[in-house]
């Protein structure tokens, strides 16, 4: 499904010294100038860290944050706004594949970059407007749904891919974020047009739950969003936006299977860890619950189980530990693999995926930050690039991915931003649609 392309060799780097000073030097010393220390993680930050260690941690998170924004700015077609699905971290990306999901994360990245003043304000607004103009007027769509993959140069659908429901949802989250961020009438009108034309009932295809997508060649895909997964944000959009909306009952139409992990029960599915992350990147589920669960707490429990699951594999993979864990859908030595939770059909092979921990920052801020510190201190410039961490690596085999995957950079950026400032949550929750969606499906404050 992904365009892999040829491998890319890495340039030689100097030997890395895993001290605090060296950690910060490695984090800030290649290609992009360093930032000032940022906002602390907040009340959940460990109190036993020394002030110097806290500053060190914040500097690392600052640098991941900023380099992630650079990925989305650099790896875009500036005229169409489409973002590369993946890009090599050394050299110029030659593959012409963009994904609509990465473009949605990229729109939110521009909002964050504007807030942090990483780039000139005028250039960010122009990029946002150009992207929305293309999406509103030129991009192929069917009933408001966009193709999963597009040619980044021509903007046309490729590979006979589906017009995807969930990938369109990630794009719409980014569009909604832009509309709420920029006090610009043109941006807001374009965003309204894109969000307002989605025909959610069409994507039901006569069933109680949304289809995964549609192709002109074969019609609707046979798979449905009928079990707990990354679907929550899409369902919230479907009840509150579009030319046709879904009824609140649609929220109750998908299954919520419980898993028992060492006596702790939580809702889960046999899927990668990102199913517990993506909806939380934009919608603030904290201190809310419906008749089934508090979904923020549920994701925290799932993350704790994932940490323990990985650490329990340390006899097989000695580099796994309570301070070095995390696997989710990612690149591997053999290609893209959807590995993850204890129930996932593909067991881990010793690969580590930095965005698994980074994308869980709001749930376990100290534990996740420790993973990132440990990875950098132990592996240095083997795992550190101009865009932050490599997508994945296997210490036992000496393999480090040459690619950066857009949605994995995106979940890293948005969840670090939410853990530190809550700005994505606050912006999305300031819209009319988000609180209305929560009310419709019965997600009440507790």
Q: What is the pLDDT of residues 377-435, one digit of tens each?
A: 999 999 999 999 999 999 999 999 999 999 999 999 999 999 999 999 999 999 999 99
Q: What is the pLDDT of residues 115-147, one digit of tens each?
A: 999 999 899 999 999 999 999 999 999 999 999
What's the confidence (pLDDT) of residue 51? 74
What's the confidence (pLDDT) of residue 63? 96
Average predicted confidence (pLDDT) for the chain: 89
| 3-class SS of residue 174 | helix
What's the confidence (pLDDT) of residue 19? 35
Among candidates 144, 150, 194, 148, which has minimal Cα distance to 167?
Answer: 148
Distance CA 56, CA 45 (A): 13
pLDDT at 163 over 90: yes
What's the confidence (pLDDT) of residue 48? 54
**Structural contact between residues 180 and 427, judged by C-beta atoms closer than 8 angstroms:** yes
Cα dihedral 435/437/443/444 (nearest 10): 30
In the chain the first and final C-alpha atoms are separated, in Å, by 41
Q: What is the pLDDT of residues 306-360, one digit of tens each?
A: 999 999 999 999 999 999 999 999 999 999 999 877 777 778 999 999 999 999 9
pLDDT at 67 over 50: yes
The ranges assigned to domains in the chain are 20-27+49-445
Distance CA 441, CA 242 (A): 16
Quick one: tokens of 95? 């593959």
Q: Give the length of the chain.
A: 446
pLDDT at 365 over 50: yes
Q: Compute φ and ψ for 234, nearest 5 degrees.
A: -60, -45
Distance CA 355, CA 328 (A): 8
What's the confidence (pLDDT) of residue 183? 96
What's the confidence (pLDDT) of residue 343? 72
What's the confidence (pLDDT) of residue 17? 28
pTM of the model: 0.89
What's the confidence (pLDDT) of residue 187? 98
What's the confidence (pLDDT) of residue 49? 62
Q: What is the mean pLDDT of residues 34-62?
A: 57
Give all strands (DSSP E) within 91-215, no chain letters: 97-99, 149-151, 163-164, 213-215
pLDDT at 43 over 50: no
Q: What is the pLDDT of residues 182-204, one digit of tens each?
A: 999 999 999 999 999 999 999 99
The CA–CA distances, whole Å, from 437 to 14, 104, 183, 229, 261 equal 52, 20, 23, 18, 31
What's the confidence (pLDDT) of residue 61? 97
**Structural contact between residues 147 and 166, judged by C-beta atoms closer than 8 angstroms:** no
Q: What is the pLDDT of residues 72-114, one digit of tens each?
A: 999 999 999 999 999 999 999 999 999 999 999 999 999 999 9
What's the confidence (pLDDT) of residue 55? 83
Q: Please state which architecture CATH assigns to domain 20-27+49-445.
A: Alpha/alpha barrel (1.50)
pLDDT at 16 over 70: no
Consecutive H or E run containing 51: helix 51-74
Sequence-distant (≥ 6) Cβ neighbours of residue 43 within 8 angstroms: none
Sequence-distant (≥ 6) Cβ neighbours of residue 91 within 8 angstroms: 8
Q: Compute φ and ψ for 266, nearest 5 degrees.
A: -155, 160
The CA–CA distances, whole Å, from 138 to 146, 174, 197, 226, 258 equal 11, 18, 14, 32, 43
Q: What is the pLDDT of residues 272-318, one digit of tens each?
A: 999 999 999 999 999 999 999 999 999 999 999 999 999 999 999 99
């Amino acid at each position: 499904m992904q365009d892999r392309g040829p491998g890319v060799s890495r340039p030689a780097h100097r030997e890395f010294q895993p001290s605090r000073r060296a950690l910060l030097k490695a984090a800030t010393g290649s290609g992009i100038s360093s930032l000032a220390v940022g906002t602390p993680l907040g009340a959940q930050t460990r109190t036993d860290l020394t002030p110097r260690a806290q500053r060190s941690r914040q500097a690392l998170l600052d640098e991941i944050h900023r380099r992630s924004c650079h990925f989305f700015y650099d790896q875009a077609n500036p005229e169409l706004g489409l973002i590369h699905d993946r890009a090599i971290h050394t050299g110029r990306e030659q593959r012409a594949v963009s994904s609509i999901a990465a473009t949605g994360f990229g729109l939110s990245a521009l909002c964050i970059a504007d807030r942090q003043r990483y780039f000139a304000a005028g250039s960010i607004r122009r990029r946002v407007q150009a992207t929305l103009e293309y999406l509103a007027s030129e991009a192929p769509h069917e009933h408001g749904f966009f193709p999963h993959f597009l040619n980044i140069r021509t903007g046309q659908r490729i590979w006979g891919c589906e017009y995807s429901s969930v990938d369109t949802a990630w794009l719409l989250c980014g569009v909604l974020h832009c509309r709420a961020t920029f006090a610009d009438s043109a941006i807001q009108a374009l965003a309204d047009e894109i969000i307002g034309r989605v025909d959610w009932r069409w994507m039901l295809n006569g069933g109680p739950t949304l289809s995964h997508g549609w192709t002109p060649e074969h019609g609707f895909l046979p798979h449905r969003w009928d079990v707990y997964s990354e679907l929550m944000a899409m369902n919230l959009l479907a009840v509150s936006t579009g030319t046709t909306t879904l009824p609140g009952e649609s929220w109750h139409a998908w299954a919520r299977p419980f898993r028992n992990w060492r006596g702790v029960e939580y809702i889960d599915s046999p899927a990668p860890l990102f199913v517990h992350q993506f909806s939380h990147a934009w919608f603030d589920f904290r201190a809310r619950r419906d008749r089934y669960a508090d979904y923020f707490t549920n994701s925290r429990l799932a993350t704790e189980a994932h940490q323990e699951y990985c650490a329990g594999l340390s006899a097989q993979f000695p580099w796994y530990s309570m301070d070095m864990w995390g696997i989710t859908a990612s690149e591997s030595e053999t290609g893209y693999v959807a590995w993850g939770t204890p129930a996932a059909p593909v067991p881990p092979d010793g690969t580590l995926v930095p965005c698994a921990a980074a994308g869980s920052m709001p749930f376990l801020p100290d534990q996740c930050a420790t993973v990132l510190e440990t990875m950098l201190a132990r592996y240095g410039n083997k795992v550190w690039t101009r865009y932050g961490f490599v997508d994945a690596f296997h210490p036992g085999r000496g393999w480090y991915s040459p690619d950066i995957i857009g949605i994995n950079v995106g979940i890293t950026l948005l969840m670090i931003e939410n853990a530190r400032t809550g700005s994505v949550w606050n912006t999305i929750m300031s819209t009319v649609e988000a609180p209305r969606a929560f009310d419709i499906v019965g997600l009440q404050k507790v």
